[in-house]
Amino acid sequence: MRQWWLIAWTAGCFGCGILAASVGWHRRPDDYAVLGGVVLLLALLLLAHGWWRETVETRRRTREMARRPRIVAIGGGTGLSVILRGLKEFPVDLTAVVTVADDGGSSGRLRSDLAMPPPGDIRNCLVALADTEPLLERLLQFRFPAGEGLAGHSFGNLFLAAMTHIMGDFESAIRETSRVLAVRGRVLPAVREDVKLRAILEDGSVVEGESNIPKAGKRIERVELVPADARPLPEVLQAIQEADAIVVGPGSLYTSVLPNLLVPGLADAIAASQAKKIYVCNVMTQPGETDHFTASQHVEVIYRHVGRRLFDYILVNAASLPEEALAKYRAQNAHPVFVDIEALARLGLRVIARNFVHYATYARHDSRLIAEQVVSLIGYERRKEERSWLRQA
C-alpha cells in the first residue's frame, strides 16, 4: 500500500504549500485558503483510504495464513525427506515428526559417544526443508572419507552435535539450526527420551538395535520401543490434533515408520484427529523387513502393532519399472510391492494408484507427484472455505 501513502503525503504537502502561499502572498487569500483546505481534505481522505486498504490486506493475509493447510509428515530415513522436498514447495504449514531410534553409522557413534539422540534422520529432514544454496546442502551432507575419529561422520551430524552442546538440549539445537537454514516448516523428534528398537522374530529370538534388525535374516513378528513408556513431545500431539492431513511413510516399515507410531499416545492422537490420514506405501520390498509383502500386508502390520485402524487413503505406485531397474533390485532380493486392491478395500482404505516413481539409479518416490496428490486431497474443501470467506468479505 505504499502508493496510497505516497499520494496522500504529496497531496498533503501540496495543500500545506497552498495555504502557506495564501498567507504569504496576501493575494486573494480566501480563494487560496479554500483551495488549500480542499487539497488537505483530499489528503486526509487518501490517508484514511490507504489505512483502510492496509487494514483489510493485513486481515486477509492473517486469515490466509490461518487457512493454510496444516500437514504433518511422520517417518524417518530417506523416505520422509523425499516427501518433505515436495511438500515444502506448496503454501502449507508443514511439520515433520522424525524417529530417533537410529543406532547405526555416524548417528549411532554420536549417540554412544556424546549421549545425544541420533541426528541423522533429523539432518536429512532439515536439509530437505531448508531454503539454502546447493553448496551448503552438499556441505551438510558431506561425509568425511578418512581421519581418526572422523571417517564416516556426516558434517551435518557433527554440526547438530555441536549445536546440542552449545544450546544445552537437542530440541533447541534443532530449532536454532532450522533458523540458520531458513527451514520451511518444523522438524520435531518423536520423543525426548533415549529410545531403542527391539524386534521379536518369528522363531522367538530377540534382536536389539534398529541397525541390527534387517540383518537377522528372519521374519519379524513384532517390534517394540525400549523403554515402552516414552512420551511424545507435546508439540507433536498438538500438530497432529490441528492437522488437515497426516502423511505416514514411505520408509522402512519396521525401523522407520513403526518406531514413531509405537510412541505411547501418538497413534491414538492420529486416530482422534479430524485430518485426512494418508499412508504412502513403499515401491519395493525391503530385504530383511518386508520380503514378499503386498501393500495390504504393510498396512496390516501397522494396524496389528497399534491395535486400531489409522488411515483413510493409501498411495501406491501403479507404474512399471524398467527391466534394468528390476534386475538391480532382484540382485538384492527386492521386488515391487504387489498392490492387492481388494484386500486394501477390505481394510477400509481408498486406494490411489498412480505413477508416483522417479527412477535414476534406484526407484524413488517422486516428491512432486506425492506432494501434489496429498495437497489435492485437502484442496477441494479448503477452496470451498475460501470462496465462502471471499463472499463474506
pLDDT in tens, 165-207: 999 999 999 999 999 899 999 999 999 988 999 999 999 999 9
CATH class of 68-99+190-392: alpha beta
**Is residue 55 packed enough to be buried (19+ CB in 10 Å), middle (13-18) or exposed (0-12)?**
exposed
Q: What is the pLDDT of residue 50?
A: 57
List of residues 6+ apart from 281 with CB closer than 8 A: 249, 250, 295, 298, 299, 314, 315, 316, 317, 337, 339
Q: What is the pLDDT of residues 117-137, one digit of tens each?
A: 999 999 999 999 998 768 878
Q: Is pLDDT of 353 > 90?
A: yes
Least confident of 19-23, 159-163, 225-229, 248-252: 19-23
Q: How confident is the model at residue 390 (pLDDT cuts 50, 70, 90)?
A: very low
What integer pLDDT is reported at residue 360 of this predicted model?
72
Cα–Cα nearest to 226, from 187, 189, 199: 199
The cell numbers describing 354, all together, are: 498412480
Across residues 27-35, what is the average pLDDT? Answer: 52
Report long-range pairs for 131-137 (Cβ below 8 Å, ≥24 apart): 131/181, 131/182, 131/183, 131/184, 132/181, 132/182, 136/181
pLDDT for position 47: 58
- Mean pLDDT, the chain, whole residue set: 85
For residue 117, cis peptide bond before it (omega within 30 degrees of 0): no
Q: How confident is the model at residue 387 (pLDDT cuts 50, 70, 90)?
A: low
Handedness of CA 15, 17, 19, 21 (dihedral sign): negative
Q: What percent of the chain has pLDDT over 90?
A: 66
Give domain limits for the chain.
2-64, 68-99+190-392
**Angstrom distance (rounded) from CA 210 to CA 347:** 28
Strand partners, 201: 220
pLDDT in tens, 255-265: 999 999 999 99
Q: Is the pLDDT of residue 89 over 80?
A: yes
Provide the pLDDT for residue 134. Answer: 80
| Residue of 28 and 270 predicted with greater confidence | 270
Q: What is the pLDDT of residues 66-80, one digit of tens each?
A: 578 999 999 998 899
If pLDDT is split at 50, 70 and 90, which confidence band does 379 have? Answer: confident
pLDDT of residue 16: 53
**Residue 82 φ then ψ, to 5°:** -65, -45
Which grid cell is 184?
A: 520451511
Q: Which residues pair with 317 in a beta bridge?
A: 354
Which of 244, 340, 254 shows the shortest CA–CA distance to 302? Answer: 254
Dihedral, CA atoms, 121, 227, 230, 84, nearest 10 degrees?
20
- Beta bridge partners, 40, equal none
> What is the reported pLDDT for 137?
84
β-pair type (363-365, 357-359): antiparallel
Q: What's the pLDDT at 325?
A: 86
Show the cell assigned to 196. 531403542
Q: Is the pLDDT of residue 83 over 60?
A: yes
Under 8 Å between Cβ of 230 and 259: no
The grid coordinates of residue 140 equal 551438510
pTM metric for this prediction: 0.81
pLDDT at 26: 47
**Contact between 101 and 196 (Cβ < 8 Å):** yes
- Is the pLDDT at 10 greater than 90? The verdict is no
Torsion of CA 281, 117, 229, 232, to 10 degrees: -60
Look at phi and psi of residue 226 and say left if phi exceeds 0, alpha if psi is from -120 to 50, else beta.
beta
List, in sequence order, every residue forming a beta bridge with 143; answer none if it has no partner: 154
Question: In this predicted structure, what is the pLDDT of residue 267?
Answer: 97
Residue pair 84/96 in contact by the 8 Å Cβ criterion: yes
Least confident of 102-106, 124-128, 269-273, 376-380: 376-380
147 Ramachandran zone, left/alpha/beta (phi>0; psi -120 to 50): left
Q: What is the pLDDT of residue 31?
A: 55
Residue 324 is predicted with a pLDDT of 86
pLDDT at residue 49, as a whole number:
58
